[in-house]
Amino acid sequence: MADRRVPALRWEERPEGPAVVLLDQRRLPGEEVELVCADVPALVDAVRTLAVRGAPVLGLSGAYGVALAAARGADVADAAGQLAGARPTAVNLAYGVRRAEAAYRAAVDGGGAVPAAAALAEAEALHAEDAEASRRMAAHGHALLERLCPAGGLRLLTHCNTGSLVSGGEGTALAVAVSVHRAGRLRRLWVDETRPLLQGARLTAYEAAREGMAYRVLADNAAGSLFAAGEVDAVLIGADRIAADGSVANKVGSYPLAVLARHHGVPFVVVAPVTTVDAATESGAGIVVEHRPGHEVTRFPVSGGAAVAPAGAGAYNPAFDVTPPELVSAIVTEAGVVSPVGREGIAELCSPSRTGTSRTGNGMMNA
């Protein structure tokens, strides 16, 4: 099968110096335009303005950003601080920064490698790990759905965007849906539009169309009627941060889906790499939720940003919400599936003895 993925991010050696090249997600689905970030301020701006977004690829952005600073002779510590603070809720961003910066510092301190080369090598290693993690998550999530819904075509509801645009591989939650599709078991992919920036309608539908999936876009507030009609077999979402108790921060609108899923007896499944787990955050109450500019709500994000509210209207615009663990049926990672979701399973997932295969016991289950 031909690879239909469009790389969200890549490193490029250019005559004028290295750069991080992004597929500008603000321009999708109308245009596939590359954005060349030749320095860290440009990359930080791309992160903040959502030219690049999604937890795993933000981790890659952070790592490649440190490598870019090192290669360009910039202050690496300052660059690392700018990158890590660009979006506070997405834990993967700071994780990628820390990994590349640690490799750089080890080389500076006499590790035998050229510091800039060491940072780049670490970013490339993280990129490869993310692609492998995506493959494993797809396999574990697919196997879980086969057990939960053993008969008939699956009708899956997803929120925001979790495909190859957010990953070094095929994504997180959408990678599971793609695996189900390729196995011939996907009856319908329901795509929440995901207001206010329409990451579902613009990006997930774009990826689903490229894959040839049977999908339909719906307004976020239409999801309840889908559940009531019995048209949803499982909900699949990603995560930007998972606390030690299993609370999940994801794109705003995820929590209402979890409530609807619980009321209607539908599995609510979170798919995210282990790096998204932040064991230092004890519970959902400790997750800092990013609030974004009000104009994202009061002006439509396409068609030239036409106003949809009166001039001067205020807006409430959290980028994320937090779903408590009791509403999450399972968390799928590259290391296996946590179910039931709680502190014990999360702790085992993050233990030093963790392997790349699914395990049983203490809240972990075979995928």
363 pLDDT tier (thresholds 50, 70, 90) = very low
Q: Taking 60 as the threshold, does the pLDDT of residue 243 lie above it? A: yes
The whole-angstrom separation of Cα 333 and Cα 314 is 39
CATH architecture of 9-128: Up-down Bundle (1.20)
Give me the pLDDT at residue 1, please.
37
CB-based contacts of 29: which residues, under 8 Å, 6+ apart? 202, 203, 205, 206
The yes-or-no answer on residue 233 being catalytic is no
Q: What is the pTM for the complete model shown?
A: 0.90
Give me the pLDDT at residue 354, please.
56
Give me the pLDDT at residue 301, please.
76
User: What confidence tens digit (pLDDT) does each residue in 145-185 have?
Assistant: 999 998 889 999 999 999 999 999 999 999 999 999 999 99
Give me the pLDDT at residue 362, please.
37
Give me the pLDDT at residue 364, please.
43
The chain-wide mean pLDDT, for the chain, equals 91
Count of CB atoms within 10 A of residue 188's CB? 18
Give me the pLDDT at residue 359, please.
33
Closest CA to 144 of 301, 332, 305: 332
More confident residue, 351 or 313: 313
Whether the Cβ atoms of residue 36 and residue 19 lie closer than 8 Å to each other:
yes
Give me the pLDDT at residue 151, please.
85
Average pLDDT, integer, range 33-60: 94
Q: Which secondary-structure segment (H or E) carries 216?
A: strand 215-218
Give me the pLDDT at residue 65, please.
98
Full 3-state SS string of 138-196: HHHHHHHHHHHCCCCCEEEEECCCCCHHHCCCCCCHHHHHHHHHHCCCEEEEEEECCCC
Give me the pLDDT at residue 352, please.
67
More confident residue, 143 or 363: 143
Give me the pLDDT at residue 351, please.
77
Q: Taking 90 as the threshold, does the pLDDT of residue 336 lie above it? A: yes
306 pLDDT tier (thresholds 50, 70, 90) = confident
Give me the pLDDT at residue 230, please.
97
- Of the candidate CATH numbers 3.40.50.720, 3.30.420.40, 3.40.50.10470, 3.40.50.1820, the domain formed by 135-365 belongs to 3.40.50.10470
Q: Which secondary-structure segment (H or E) carries 364?
A: strand 364-365
Average pLDDT, integer, range 250-254: 97
Give me the residues paired with residue 364 across strands: 338, 361
Q: Taking 80 as the threshold, does the pLDDT of residue 255 lie above it? A: yes
CB-based contacts of 11: which residues, under 8 Å, 6+ apart? 18, 19, 20, 21, 64, 67, 120, 123, 124
User: 1: burial class by Cβ within 10 Å (0-12, 13-18, 19+)?
Assistant: exposed
User: What confidence tens digit (pLDDT) does each residue in 66-102 have?
Assistant: 999 999 999 999 999 999 999 988 789 999 999 999 9
Q: Taking 70 as the threshold, does the pLDDT of residue 360 lie above it? A: no
Q: Taking 90 as the threshold, does the pLDDT of residue 55 lie above it? A: no
| Per-domain boundaries in the chain | 9-128, 135-365
Single-letter amino acid code for the residue at 76? V
Share of the chain above pLDDT 90, in %: 85
Orientation angle between helical segments 91-108 and 76-84, nearest 10 degrees: 170
Whether the Cβ atoms of residue 145 and residue 234 lie closer than 8 Å to each other:
yes
Least confident among 50-54, 67-71, 251-255: 50-54
Give me the pLDDT at residue 361, please.
33
Share of the chain above pLDDT 70, in %: 93
Catalytic residue among 24, 192, 240, 278: 240
Whether the Cβ atoms of residue 29 and residue 23 lie closer than 8 Å to each other:
no
Orientation angle between helical segments 55-71 and 76-84, nearest 10 degrees: 160
CB-based contacts of 170: which residues, under 8 Å, 6+ apart? 5, 134, 135, 138, 163, 164, 178
Q: Taking 90 as the threshold, does the pLDDT of residue 256 lie above it? A: yes
